Amino acid sequence: MSLTVNEGRALDRAIELETDVVVIGSGAGGATVATELALAGFRVVVLEEGKHVPAKQLGEMRHSQSLRTVWREGGLTAAFGLGDAPTVNVTMGRCVGGSSVVTGGVCFRVPESILAGWSRDQGIRELTAESLDPAYSHVEKAIHVEEVPVSMRSRSTTLFGEGAAKLGYPLVPLRRNTKGCDGCGRCNFGCPHQAKLSVDLSYLPRAVAAGAELWSDVLVDRVVVENGRATGVVGRTVPSGPGAPTRRVKVRAKTVVVACGGIHSPALLSASGLGGLRSHVGRHLTLHPGFRVYARFDESVRGWAGALQSAYSDHFMHEHITLMSLFVPASVIAATMPGVGPEHMARASQVANIAMFGALIHDEGGGYVVRSPFDREPTAIYRATKKDGRAMRRGIQIIGETFFAAGAREVYLPVLGSPALDADAFRRYDFENIPLGRLECASQHPLGTCRIGRSAKTGVVAPDGGFYGVDGLYVADGSVLPSSLGVNPQLTVMAVATFIAWQLREKRPRSSTFA
Cβ neighbours around 438 below 10 Å, total: 14
- Kindly write down the DSSP assignment for every residue of 407-439, as one continuous string: T-SEEE-SBTTPPPB-HHHHHH--GGG--GGGB
Same domain? For 336 and 433 the reply is yes
> Which amino acid, residue 194?
Q
Q: 365: Cβ–Cβ under 8 A, 6 or more apart, which residues?
A: 284, 285, 286, 448, 483, 484
Q: What is the pLDDT of residue 320?
A: 97
* Angstrom distance (rounded) from CA 78 to CA 381: 9
Q: 391: Cβ–Cβ under 8 A, 6 or more apart, which residues?
A: 319, 320, 321, 361, 362, 363
Give the three-class secondary structure for 293. strand
Backbone angles phi, psi at 114, to 5 degrees: -70, -45
> 389, 408, 443 — which closes off a domain?
443
Q: What is the pLDDT of residue 179?
A: 96
* Angstrom distance (rounded) from CA 170 to CA 18: 54
**CA dihedral in degrees (128, 132, 134, 140; nearest 10)?**
-140
Check if the beta carbon of residue 68 is closer than 8 Å to that of residue 374: no
Q: What is the pLDDT of residue 149?
A: 96
> 443, 470, 485 — which closes off a domain?
443
The angle at the Cα of 42, spanning 39 to 43, to the nearest 5 degrees, equals 110
Backbone angles phi, psi at 15, to 5 degrees: -135, 155
Same domain? For 130 and 265 the reply is yes
Cβ neighbours around 106 below 10 Å, total: 25
Please name every residue paired with 7 in a beta bridge, in sequence order, or none if there are none: 216
Please name every residue paired with 312 in a beta bridge, in sequence order, or none if there are none: 172, 324
Q: pTM score > 0.85 for this model?
A: yes
> 395, 422, 443 — which closes off a domain?
443
Cβ neighbours around 400 below 10 Å, total: 26
Q: 411: Cβ–Cβ under 8 A, 6 or more apart, which residues?
A: 293, 294, 295, 296, 399, 400, 403, 404, 420, 421, 426
CATH code of the domain covering residue 336: 3.30.410
Task: Flag whether 232 is in a domain.
Answer: yes
Same domain? For 164 and 138 the reply is no
Cβ neighbours around 211 below 10 Å, total: 12
Task: Flag whether 26 is in a domain.
Answer: yes
Q: 332: exposed, middle or buried (C-beta count within 10 Å: 0-12, 13-18, 19+)? A: exposed
pLDDT single digits (tens) 395-431: 999 999 999 999 999 999 999 999 999 999 999 999 9
Q: What is the pLDDT of residue 337?
A: 87
Q: What is the pLDDT of residue 515?
A: 39
Backbone angles phi, psi at 176, to 5 degrees: -140, 160
Task: State which residues of the chain have pLDDT below 50.
Answer: 510-515
Same domain? For 367 and 384 the reply is yes
Note if 138 is an active site residue: no
Nearest to 219, CA basis, from 255, 259, 261, 248: 248
**HEC assignment per residue over 201-228:** HHCHHHHHHCCCEEEECEEEEEEEEECC
Which residues constitute the domain of residue 461? 6-52+95-103+108-142+198-282+448-507
Q: Residue 106: CA atoms inside 13 Å, Cβ hemisphere, count?
A: 23
Q: What is the pLDDT of residue 420?
A: 94
pLDDT single digits (tens) 8-58: 999 999 999 999 999 999 999 999 999 999 999 999 999 999 999 999 999
Task: Flag whether 435 is in a domain.
Answer: yes
Q: What is the pLDDT of residue 331?
A: 87
Same domain? For 267 and 297 the reply is no
> Which amino acid, residue 49?
E
Helices marked H in 272-385 — which ranges? 330-335, 342-348
Please state whether 249 falls in left (phi above 0), alpha (psi between -120 and 50) or beta.
beta
Check if the beta carbon of residue 67 is closer than 8 Å to that of residue 60: no
Same domain? For 116 and 23 the reply is yes
Q: What is the pLDDT of residue 508?
A: 64
Same domain? For 422 and 291 the reply is yes
CATH code of the domain covering residue 467: 3.50.50.60
* Angstrom distance (rounded) from CA 89 to CA 100: 17
Helices marked H in 292-381 — which ranges? 330-335, 342-348
**How many domains are contained in the chain?**
2
| Contacts by residues 109-117 (CB-CB < 8 Å, ≥ 24 positions apart) | 109/136, 109/491, 109/492, 109/495, 110/485, 110/487, 110/489, 110/492, 111/317, 111/485, 111/486, 111/487, 114/483, 114/485, 114/486, 117/483
